Amino acid sequence: MTTEQGAITATPLSPGTVEWYRARGERWLREHATVTWERPSRGLQVFGLGTATRRIGARGEGLREARAAIEELLAGLWESPAGAPAPMVFLSASFDPGNPLRDPAWDAFGGWQVLLPAITIVRRGEAWSGVACAGDFPAGPAEETAPLEEQTGANLGSAIAEAVGEIRAGQYQKVVLAGSRVVPVGPAAPADILARLVAAFPTTCIFSIRAGGWTWLGASPEPLAGVQHGRLELVSLAGSRRRGRDAAEDAALEAELLASEKERWEHRLVVEAIRQEVGELAEGLEIPGAPTVMKLANIQHLYTPIAGRLAPGASLLDVVERLHPTPAVGGWPRDAALDAIRRLERMDRGWYAGPVGWVDPSGNGEFVVGLRTALVGGGRARLYAGAGIVADSTPAGELEEIETKLDALRGVINR
């Protein structure tokens, strides 16, 4: 583990200083930020500038080691005075640190990172605020690295067919298989891509993390877990159809999704996994009896919101560690699905489908699953997407779903 260590006393920024940063504009803030976190539908924007502390884990490490690092950092972090914005510590980790494959493009990110920005600028609605922690401040955007290369992964159609055979033979119930594509970025900087994601997918969580000249960014539709003042919020998001070309086709696809026993079974698997994994960490879990549909720009998903209160002594990090990887991005049972991913996918996912989020010293925070993501550097971007494979899956249908998800980012990046 490497560490960039500085003083970790949080100090509110003066109104004049906050106004100086606000006046730079959103593009400037995105361009100079080490980390960003945006929830357009909630009126939330967070721009983390510079580095007070950054801890990076080895490629073979993951969420467990990251959790120890973030808890150590939070224990020594002096909070802002009452009424001032709380410092936010960001955490991201790889999907599967046990995967022996290593894509060198992810070396700058490590197996995980815990990051406390030197300055954090927060907009909530029309109100802007900021907090500072002594550290290294950015001189400007980082230079990009050498171009990304294509990964030599599995033939996804063959891998899906093999997975269906193993599922029907009773080896496991579900596995999520993913693929990647490398596309040219052209003149668009990561800051411009982020602005396009905000405009195209306002109901998602748009995030970015910069390391070693690379930028990892995405527009995740899938919350993992969030806590505010002890209230826990979770989501099951599994089962999908593309959006229709007009309102009539869109409604027909929605009805087809809601009526599909295959998609509803896949969705119930995630709901029951959340109930099983989180039940002892939460009190009074509220789980609707049937899913509704969440519609994004080019895809719609079965959606079930779940809520409760953290049990005494439990934390958001407890919940995140218990849930990851969910059946929505790994499969079920978990260990058998991870083994199948390593055998069949033959690709280093890096941080794709891993946990990404933040937590403050009071235990509030939010994590999402790193989906609809791209790794950008050297004028190219590697896009990632996957699909859940169950007994009734067909290679053609699942490949179409993967391409639909890839198109969500491809269309934004190549605009």
Contacts with 396 (C-beta within 8 Å, 6 or more apart), sequence order: 157
Contacts with 235 (C-beta within 8 Å, 6 or more apart), sequence order: 222, 223, 303, 304, 305, 306
CA dist., res. 112 & res. 63, Å (int)? 7
Question: Is 405 noted as a catalytic residue in this protein?
Answer: no
Question: Is 295 noted as a catalytic residue in this protein?
Answer: no
**Residue for token pair 């960001």:** 90
Q: Which of 222, 277, 398, 401 is catalytic?
A: 222
Would you say 129 and 122 are in contact if contact means Cβ atoms under 8 Å apart? Answer: yes
CA dist., res. 86 & res. 98, Å (int)? 34
H or E element at residue 234: strand 231-242
Tens-binned pLDDT, residue by residue, of the chain (415 aa): 343 444 477 888 999 999 999 999 999 999 999 999 999 999 999 999 999 999 999 999 999 999 999 998 888 887 666 666 788 999 999 999 999 999 888 999 999 999 999 999 999 999 999 999 875 555 444 444 555 666 666 789 999 999 999 999 999 999 999 999 999 887 778 999 999 999 999 999 999 999 988 999 999 988 999 999 999 999 988 888 988 989 999 999 999 999 999 889 888 888 998 888 898 899 989 999 899 999 887 888 999 999 999 999 999 999 999 999 998 899 999 999 999 999 999 999 999 999 999 999 889 999 999 999 999 988 889 999 999 999 999 999 999 989 988 988 888 887 7
Q: Both tokens of residue 88? A: 């936010």
Q: How far is CA 411 from CA 41, 125, 183, 330, in A?
A: 21, 28, 11, 26
CA dist., res. 225 & res. 110, Å (int)? 23
The letter for the amino acid at 197 is L
| CA 122 and chain centroid, separation | 20
CA dist., res. 153 & res. 352, Å (int)? 15
Q: Which of 38, 65, 174, 266 is catalytic?
A: 174
